[in-house]
Structure 1
């Protein structure tokens, strides 16, 4: 069909444009500024008015002025919202403004093309299974606009059905390209489209982690691999190391400046640690991290990763060269029995013994008592741990406020706090007593999904613990929380605190509420398992998984086999599309009206009246009337009515209701003529 670019837009196309506009803009609302949303809403309402004939299209000068003003404003705020967000907003505004000023079919095609770009942006921003399915539907709706341009008389249901078929027919080719084409590093696929950050921070004050216990957001999921030494671990072994805090100013813990500088140079220096001996036990697992928009990653001690974008820092953390701006899957190997730093450099020792001067005098005096009563560092550490059980300390999510002498107030006045309180006090006592110590923040525990064999770690599982350096043993984990609330470490967060007063208190629609209802929780677990598999096999489909899949299909993979595989697959896909397009259909299926008419003509031929080839319906009716009027008058009457109804249905314009009534009458006449005796 030849394009007529100057044709007026049909009403059917205008309808699909309204639907498409709403469905395309909705997934990107979180990336749009308030005034961009306002302009898009005004354009949509204006277009609705045009559709119902209440208003006319705006003058082009007005649209051009709005476009220039929008571009200028975006250039001024680009540094605040991010360059990519500014470009997305510019594209949204261009889409909306073009949407209200279009007058001809050439304009429709421009709007549809921009719509596909916006769908791609939405896909980059959120690649979850639910969002991907929704965007496929949006793609089909956007395609309906193009189809309606060429099939403006077709029903809307037929437009959408055709568009859905086109999208479904394109999926095999998309899957083939997804499997065969080289994989780019996942961090390079999606630039930063948002600036909001979630989860742990590189600064830790006493109340920070308790605030995270109000969040039901998923932090990451973990699946131990089949060839790993274990598939599940007890809760007390699940210490997910994230950040190490060594700098303390009396109120806030921070990463030391030397580590921050190393993180900034990581892209150039690519820090790596030496792998432990192969004879040591090793845990292999895959972590699927949710978007945190930060660079730190998660792992059990001692964690290593061979991913090109992950570096291993000397404080035994994993670090990404770019913020995690989308869901990300990466593989980790942990050596739980390896020693962390058998030797401690003078610089690191000094860092982990330093304390601000002239603060917390009572805590300093207590530390000196421990030195006198327990000269050996390890004995002293255990004695300080026991101190929390010997004194009336209390573990709570809502501790009382502390004064300027935070450690003194906590140890000798309030004696009530969360994990950060106990970890901070323990590190202060250890450093004052001469033992190098530091604070580690991360997550502790995990919710196991037995259906898909993975752990879910939520933000409310955030935790802080300590590490002390002991001669001959290296850095050793000491968790004072285990002394005050052992059930928190052994059985998890939910065994210690009421979910209704913590992470569900302000989350009325959280899916975690389904835990209270077994059958709803079963459904939630099934959906979560599907989403997990999507994350592993689609979002986590890296070069390693691609190579494994191709080897399962082709055996030994080489360039020749891959090319042959692609050619065969493309041929099969082409044949499938050709089949559905009707290329291989030799004879078109006859019209049901014609089929019924021919059957009755064949019956009449049995009594001696045959229809000549090429004879019109009216001529044959006249022939039947002359031949059978005397011998079969009732047959002639019914056949005449049958022929007239056939001609009306085939050639006369009529309303939908009239056509439905005529078609019913035609079928009744057919049944009478088909089965009555002649």
Structure 2
């Protein structure tokens, strides 16, 4: 074992292990099982080393562990670059650092690595409950750091925790003040790594079964707060991506142009105008991290929020991928026309069908179109086909081959919204009508405590848009022909898909939605998380300056210094009072009193002890002093000094302390008699 004069206190080791466990717990769902087993092995090995049963790992063992970690991470994730692989590598280093923490410096480094590792939790979640958990873990890490400095605490188990809690409480007022007044600047660096388990939401490719997999996820996608009256649920079609390129099997994100601001071009029918449009909606969306740039809004949407772009396909998009919660303001004009005119190039692009597959669907479309009077009649005929041919709406659909449109329309007839939207758009293009697939969300759950519309991942939906002359792009949702209740209810509430949803989301709190008490508790917790996101995570920029101006008026150096003094003064006064009362309460110990008597006797008759001279140095000077002729004086003085050093600097049991104090008193009395 590594030789060191410093021994890790048992109490400190326990705090270090507990703090390390709390740092690792939030990542359990993101790290592979082998890494958790490796952590358990490190804890066991460190305990055996501490108890003296095992020796510290040799260099070749550490090298083997290092290579095994790199191999395991690559085997688990298939790459090293990414949030989960990098965090797993950091967690592995944090676990193995436990095997190297023997000196005080090693243990301090271990705890500071814990601080850094704990911060990685915010890369995945910044919610209220996660923040409270991180605060508790930070408290325990700091407790471990404090306990390293206290070497004799076998009977005071929770004393370091109490002291650390007091320190945190003292820092709280100043922390709140800095949060309120210090400018919330965007970081000059950002971590933009792909996430292995990221809840990315709607993707840029729509293949058969993609939306059905997403609809088994109960996590929150975004929340919307409307100013004024809420729109009807049937109007809550949240456009996200426009998929206008079909490769013969799947739909892909089409080409589009981006504007420098978030304002789409608005066109209105002759029968209405922007001023008379009563279906204008203003709302704020707080979107969860999606690791993609597109935003969600009701068409036709515009935004004044900085760093938001408007696209030529009438979407809103962020400048960069969204790696943290993002709030943005939206205004939607539901009566506006999307693209009343198409150029020849756009027309060809929106009617293109690549490949020669799905022959039956092509023939069916041409035959049905020939029997229709116009485009509108053909569209209605296709919708009637879905309604009349016993199609089934289900999360569990059979696997489809290369001719997936044919197999769905004429063979299986079982599918989710993605199947219906994809086949509908294919039939439109097969008849020469411009069409595209829209990926987004439909509906949402109203939280009456906050007025927020909660849109979950299981609200993911796909529908189609068809271009008609003068009317522009019109929304058509073929899923309604098969499952009309889908608009009035979410996937989790539909009898046809409810069992499939809860089979996948066994731990979802929505599973107990029918229990009034639990559902009320769920909504109340969501309300707390909403206020945290709205008033803490979004407290920056305009909101911060308006708050400061409302409470402080014009910002000036004098007002800020005065406010700092007001906040800091109570803490400083309390600390000064504690120091003063603690000093008054200090009483001289019995062995200190006896030693002072001893030094006074020596100063009166022989030698004066210097102010900066320790007991041992003074004893050496007395022993070598030639002017002290009485050998008994030297003998009893040295004996008294040894007793005092043992009492003052060496740990003693209560019984032994009493015995040594009595012997010291006897030696002082003997010296007094000798001097007398």
* 1:567 equivalent in alignment to 2:558: no
Q: Is 1:504 paired with 2:505? A: no
CA distance in structure 2 between the aligned counterparts of 1:44 and 1:57, rounded to whole angstroms: 12
**Relative to 1, partners in 2 of residues 1:56 and 1:576: Cα closer, same or farther, differing over 3 Å?**
farther
Per the alignment, do residues 253 and 51 of structure 1 end up closer, same or farther by CA in structure 2, a change over 3 Å counting?
Answer: same
Q: Secondary structure at the match of 2:223?
A: strand
Do 1:31 and 1:193's aligned partners in 2 also have CA atoms closer than 8 Å?
no
Q: Which residue of 2 aligns with 1:156?
A: 157
Mapping of residues 415-430 of structure 1, within 5 Å: 415-430=413-428
1:581 equivalent to 2:575? Answer yes
The CA distance in 2 between the partners of 1:85 and 1:484, in whole Å, is 40
| Larger CA deviation: 361-370 vs 291-300 | 361-370
**Mapped partners of 2:126, 2:30: distance in 1:** 15
* Residue 249 (structure 1) shift: 2.9
Residue 48 of structure 1 corresponds to 47
Aligned twin of 1:208: 210
Equivalent in 291, 294, 314 of residue 293 of structure 1: 291
TM-score by length of 1: 0.76
Residue pairs, 1:375-414, within 5 angstroms: 375-402=373-400, 404-414=402-412
For residues 478 and 434 of structure 1, do their structure 2 counterparts lie closer, same or farther at Cα, with a shift above 3 Å needed?
same
Instruction: Give the distance between the partners of 1:175 and 1:586, measured in 2 at CA.
Output: 28
> 1 CA distance for matches of 2:157 and 2:163?
10
Partner SS state of residue 23, structure 1: helix
Listed as ranges, the matches of 1:272-421 within 5 Å are: 273-274=263-264, 276=266, 279=275, 280=277, 282-356=280-354, 358-402=356-400, 404-421=402-419
Identify the residue that residue 219 of structure 1 maps to in structure 2: 221
CA apart distance, 1:88: 4.3
Is the CA contact (8 Å cut-off) linking 1:70 and 1:90 kept in structure 2? no
Distance in 1, matches of 2:148 and 2:529, equals 37
Whether the 8 Å contact between 1:84 and 1:192 is mirrored in structure 2 is: yes
Shift of 1:466: 0.8
The answer to whether the 8 A contact 2:350-2:429 is kept is yes
- Tell me if the contact between 1:411 and 1:425 (Cα under 8 Å) persists in the aligned partners: yes
The whole-number CA distance in structure 2 between the counterparts of 1:95 and 1:418 is 45
SS at match of 1:504: helix
Separation in 1 of the partners of 2:487 and 2:350? 26
SS in 1 for 2:195: coil
Rounded Cα–Cα distance in structure 1 between residues aligned with 2:321 and 2:196: 10
Change (3 A) 1:404 1:108: closer
Summarize the Cα distance change of 1:502–1:582 in structure 2 as closer, same or farther, 3 Å threshold: farther
Deviation at 1:347, TM superposition (A): 1.7
- Counterpart in the other structure of 2:634: none
Moved more, 212-221 or 191-200: 191-200
The question of whether the paired residues in 2 share the 8 Å contact of 1:222 and 1:286 is answered with yes
Distance in 2 (alpha carbons) for counterparts of 1:476 and 1:186? 42
- Answer whether contact 1:14 1:51 (CA < 8 A) is retained: no
**Corresponding residue for 1:145?**
144
Partner SS state of residue 344, structure 1: coil
Secondary structure of 1:240's match? strand
Count of matched residue pairs: 581
Partner Cα separation in structure 2 for residue 112 and residue 51 of structure 1: 18
Partner Cα distance (1:217, 1:8) in 2: 47
Distance in 2 of aligned mates of 1:366 and 1:506: 37
Counterpart CA distance in 1 for 2:525 and 2:302 is 31
Between the aligned partners of 1:186 and 1:299, the Cα distance in structure 2 is 27
CA distance in 2, matches of 1:52, 1:580: 43
Deviation at 1:246, TM superposition (A): 1.2
3-state DSSP of counterpart to 2:114: helix
Equivalent in the alignment of 1:126: 125
Aligned residue runs from structure 1 range 414-563, under 5 A: 414-497=412-495, 500-555=498-553, 557-558=554-555, 560=556, 563=557
Alpha carbons of structure 1 residues 57 and 567: separation in structure 2 relative to 1, 3 Å: farther
Local SS of the residue matching 1:219: strand
Aligned pair 1:181/2:182, yes or no?
yes
Shift of 1:519: 1.2
Tell me by how many angstroms 1:31 deviates: 5.7
The C-alpha deviation readout for 1:216-245, integer Å capped at 9, x for no partner, is 232222222xxx343x22211111111111
Displacement of 1:286: 2.3
Unaligned runs of 5+ in 2: 267-272, 589-650, 659-676
Distance 2:428 2:123 in 1: 47
Secondary structure at 1:150 match in 2:
coil
Alpha-carbon distance in 2 for matches of 1:251, 1:75? 34
Q: Is the 8 A contact 1:229 1:282 kept in 2?
A: no
Partners of 1:564 and 1:322 lie apart in 2 by 39
Cα separation, partners in 2 of 1:33 and 1:370, compared to 1, 3 Å: closer
Distance in 1, Cα, partners of 2:143 & 2:331: 49
Shift of 1:90: 5.2
- Distance of 1:70 and 1:161 partners within structure 2: 40
Tell me the distance in 2 between the aligned counterparts of 1:569 and 1:402: 68
What TM-score do the two structures reach when normalised by structure 2?
0.76
